[in-house]
């Protein structure tokens, strides 16, 4: 049963298993454990980034494709749902219309980028994706009548997902069963299913071919695999999943904007998480996204507390001043890449 | 099985095959035909164009001019995957494997390609027991069943060469191309591979092409020898005849490969 759900891809490390189970339980019960908007927002972001990063790992870690267009597909999903809800009003019909057109656009773009440029060398492919993604981001902020420009757009979601909605009057474990909670579980469930689907894909015969292409595309060709076809399919699959992740994020935030969905910062976040978690293993996306998003949201407040506690100590108090949280985040990244070149998962699996 | 008296139609042939790298013509106007049930050794000094000729036939390199026909079909414009699907299998000279995957996984990828299952995204690869069994069978044939789960990158050179052969067999090709299959192998590993090639030849229906430096190997296996020199086909025919022809003597004695003779 578990083997079938996890597609026979077990964590193969006790510490990793514990981390994964804790992350799963933490995300599953987050709305009941924590009060306030921020923790729940962190939990939802972790869920969505697990899927987003895992879909990127399909490209980078499994197939060996370096793409910088992943945020574009994420943005397409978000804008699709957001603009449709904005234009058509808060209905499920709008969500589906927006999602369907976003998926179609993502598929067409991924197919085109793939067929035109996956034949060329990796570095050129990376450059092409970078160019297309930048063009798209500029387009999104320039077409301000349509997309809301730099400010983006806030919109209403279907009533059942809106914060004002109450499913039942009673509270459960001190938590009212409102639209926000329902949205959280929609995000959580969708992300869990998408993650398990990707786990299945990488452990299917198709997934093995992707790994073969990463290892030695020349030989994969000699075995009879047309690598362009496989690379393009991987590209499309990753794009569709990224678009779905974007749609979920838009529903969660009830907002779309270029900074949140299309900026290059999101792309570097994805890259960092893949590298920190471990390339070529989807569990790396889980561990990496959980740690990274948590650090991004809480390092500053942790440092504020540390700074207060060290108020008497001259240099230390300055060093951990909350204004310097970005510096410390950077140092943490450098250290983690230095000490875990194969990522956290790679390190844990090699401990034996 | 005895050699067929009436020569069958060639399964593989090249016609005026040429490839030019800038000013250098690596393979120059080479025409040859290969028939089922035969083993042809391709010999020649280093840099003669033997491996390049192989690459042109199996599709790793595109020809500058000339053509390649496979089972009567012109495949000159087809890439390596399409030619592999049509029954041409290749073992490489420089080991060319999937280094971070296990031994069995390397072979299974070939089996999977042969079974046409590469695009299956939803079933678990480990559920395809029949593919796994076939992969194990081929590992067994090269006496590598014990190394089944080792990571290929960590194998000693000789085992990589044997694995290369197992992958070739797993493609179940009609035409088998071995590029110096025993190079760099230890003395006790060589007979396993030679015996294997011998067995395949004895089946009588496969076409085998062999690039080989070791003349004792060529003598014991080949029905026919093709000599390449500076990209040209300089001799083609019966082994004893070819080896004693003056042009071959000259080509070989001039380069020091004669040490192997």
Q: What is the ipTM of this complex?
A: 0.86
| CA pair distance A41, B145, nearest whole angstrom | 52
Pairing of strands B39-43, B207-211: parallel
Low-confidence ranges of chain A (pLDDT < 70): 118, 351-352
Whether residue B36 contacts residue B11, with contact meaning beta carbons closer than 8 Å, is answered with yes
What per-residue confidence (pLDDT) applies to B253? 55
Complete DSSP assignment for A203-243: TSHHHHHHHHHHH-HHHHHHTT--HHHHHHHHHHHHHHHHH
Could you give the dihedral angle defined by the CA atoms of residues A165, A167, A168 and A169, in that order, rounded to the nearest 10 degrees? 0
> Angle A216-A219-A223 (CA atoms, 0-180°, nearest 5)?
135
Give the neighbor-by-neighbor strand order of the sheet with B24-34.
Answer: B24-34, B12-21, B65-70, B73-74
Angstrom distance (rounded) from CA A98 to CA A183: 17
Kindly state the tokens that stand for B95: 């080991």
Residue holding tokens 């499913």? A167
What digits encode the pLDDT tens for the residues A19-55? Answer: 999 999 999 999 888 777 889 999 999 999 999 999 9
Mutation target among A204, A229, A232, A350 for the B interface, most CBs of B within 10 A: A204
Structure tokens belonging to residue B183: 């190079």
Q: Give A156-191 as a DSSP string.
A: PPPGGGSTT-EEEEEEETTEEEEHHHHHHHHHHHHH
Write down the CATH number for the domain with range B1-86+209-261: 3.40.50.300
Closest CB to B96: pick one of A206, A216, A233.
A216
- HSE of B35 in the Cβ direction (CA atoms, 13 Å)? 10
- Residue B171 and residue B83 in contact, taking contact as beta carbons nearer than 8 Å: no
* Helix (H) / strand (E) containing A86: helix A70-88
End-to-end CA distance of chain A: 26
Measured in angstroms, the CA of A115 and the nearest CA of chain B are apart by 16
Alpha-carbon gap: B98 to the closest alpha carbon of chain A (Å)? 5
Take residue A212 and report the two structure tokens written for it.
Answer: 């073969």
Q: Which domains does chain A have, with CATH numbers?
A: 2-349 (1.10.3470)
Burial of A41 (0-12, 13-18, 19+ CB in 10 A): middle
**Residue A257 bridge partners (DSSP):** none
Nearest Cα residue in chain B from A197: B122
From the list B96, B113, B122, the residue facing A225 with the nearest CB is B113
Looking at residue A302, what is its pLDDT? Answer: 86
pLDDT tens for A260-298 read 999 999 999 999 999 999 999 999 999 999 999 998 888
Contacts of B92 in chain A (CB under 8 A): 219, 222
pLDDT of amino acid A164: 83
Subunit contact A215:B105, Cβ cutoff 8 A: no
For residue B113, give the nearest of A207, A215, A223 by CB distance: A223
Q: Is B55 near chain A, with CB under 8 Å?
A: no
A216 → chain B, closest CA residue: B98
Residue appearing with tokens 């650090």: A295
The answer for A 218-257 residues in CB contact with B (under 8 A) is: 218-227, 230, 233, 237
Contacts of A219 in chain B (CB under 8 A): 92, 96-98
* Residue A310 near residue A320 (C-beta atoms within 8 A): yes
For chain A, count helices (H), then strands (E): 17, 4
Burial of A342 (0-12, 13-18, 19+ CB in 10 A): middle
Tokens, residue A246:
């974007």
Which residues in chain B come in under a pLDDT of 70? 1-8, 251-261
The domain limits of chain B are 1-86+209-261
Instruction: State the pTM of this model.
Output: 0.90
At residue B244, the 3 state secondary structure works out as: helix
Provide, as residue numbers in chain B, all residues whose Cβ is less than 8 Å from the Cβ of A201.
121-122
> Which helix or strand (DSSP H or E) is residue A329 part of?
helix A325-339
**pLDDT at residue B260 in the model:** 44
Instruction: State which H helix or E strand residue A75 sits in.
Output: helix A70-88
């Amino acid at each position: 049963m578990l083997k079938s759900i996890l597609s026979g891809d077990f964590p193969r490390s006790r510490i990793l298993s514990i981390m994964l189970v804790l992350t799963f339980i933490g995300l599953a019960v987050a709305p009941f454990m924590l009060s306030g908007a921020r923790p729940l927002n962190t939990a939802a972001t972790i869920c969505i980034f697990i899927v987003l990063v895992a879909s990127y790992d399909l490209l980078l870690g499994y197939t060996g494709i370096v793409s910088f267009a992943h945020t574009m597909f994420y943005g397409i999903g978000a804008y699709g749902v957001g603009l449709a809800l904005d234009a058509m009003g808060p209905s499920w019909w709008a969500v589906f219309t927006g999602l369907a057109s976003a998926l179609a656009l993502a598929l067409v773009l991924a197919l085109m980028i793939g067929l035109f440029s996956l034949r060329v060398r990796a570095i050129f492919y990376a450059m092409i994706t970078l160019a297309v993604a930048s063009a798209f981001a500029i387009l999104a902020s320039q077409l301000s009548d349509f997309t809301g420009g730099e400010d983006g757009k806030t919109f209403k979601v279907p009533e059942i997902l809106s914060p004002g909605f109450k499913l039942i009057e009673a509270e459960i474990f001190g938590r009212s069963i409102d639209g926000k909670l329902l949205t959280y579980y929609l995000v959580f469930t969708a992300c869990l299913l998408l993650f398990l689907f990707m786990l299945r894909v990488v452990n299917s015969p198709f997934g093995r071919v992707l790994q073969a292409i990463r290892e030695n595309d020349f030989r994969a060709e000699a075995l009879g695999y047309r690598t362009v076809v496989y690379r393009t399919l991987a590209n499309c699959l990753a794009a569709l999943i990224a678009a779905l992740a974007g749609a979920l994020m838009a529903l969660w935030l009830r907002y779309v904007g270029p900074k949140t969905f299309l900026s290059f910062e999101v792309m570097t976040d994805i890259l960092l998480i893949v590298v920190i978690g471990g390339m070529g293993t989807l569990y790396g996306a889980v561990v990496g996204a959980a740690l990274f998003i948590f650090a991004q949201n809480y390092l500053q407040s942790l440092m504020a507390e540390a700074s207060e506690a060290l108020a008497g100590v001259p240099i230390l108090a300055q060093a951990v001043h909350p204004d310097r949280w970005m510096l410390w985040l950077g140092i943490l990244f450098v250290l983690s890449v230095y000490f875990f070149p194969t990522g956290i998962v790679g390190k844990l699996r090699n401990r034996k | 099985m005895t050699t067929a008296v009436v020569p069958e139609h060639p399964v593989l042939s090249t016609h005026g095959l040429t490839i030019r790298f800038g000013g250098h013509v690596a393979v120059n106007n080479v025409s040859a035909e290969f028939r089922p049930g035969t083993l042809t050794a391709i010999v020649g000094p280093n840099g003669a164009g033997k491996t390049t000729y192989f690459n042109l036939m199996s599709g790793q390199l595109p020809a500058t001019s000339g053509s390649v026909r496979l089972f009567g079909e012109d495949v000159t414009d087809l890439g390596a995957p399409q030619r592999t699907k049509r029954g041409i299998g290749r073992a490489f000279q420089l080991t060319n494997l999937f280094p971070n995957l296990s031994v069995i996984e390397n072979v299974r990828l070939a089996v999977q390609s042969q079974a046409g299952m590469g695009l299956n995204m939803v079933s678990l690869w480990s559920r395809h027991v029949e593919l796994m069994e076939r992969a194990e069978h081929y590992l067994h044939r090269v006496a590598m069943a014990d190394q089944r789960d080792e990571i290929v990158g960590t194998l000693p050179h000789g085992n990589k060469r044997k694995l290369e052969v197992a992958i070739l067999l797993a493609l179940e090709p009609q035409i088998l191309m071995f590029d110096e299959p025993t190079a760099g192998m230890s003395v006790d590993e060589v007979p396993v591979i030679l015996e294997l090639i011998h067995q395949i030849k004895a089946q009588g229906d496969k076409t085998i092409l062999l690039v080989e430096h070791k003349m004792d190997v060529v003598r014991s296996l080949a029905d026919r020898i093709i000599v390449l020199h500076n990209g040209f086909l300089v001799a083609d025919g019966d082994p004893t005849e070819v080896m004693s022809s003056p042009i071959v003597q000259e080509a070989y004695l001039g380069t020091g490969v004669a040490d192997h003779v």
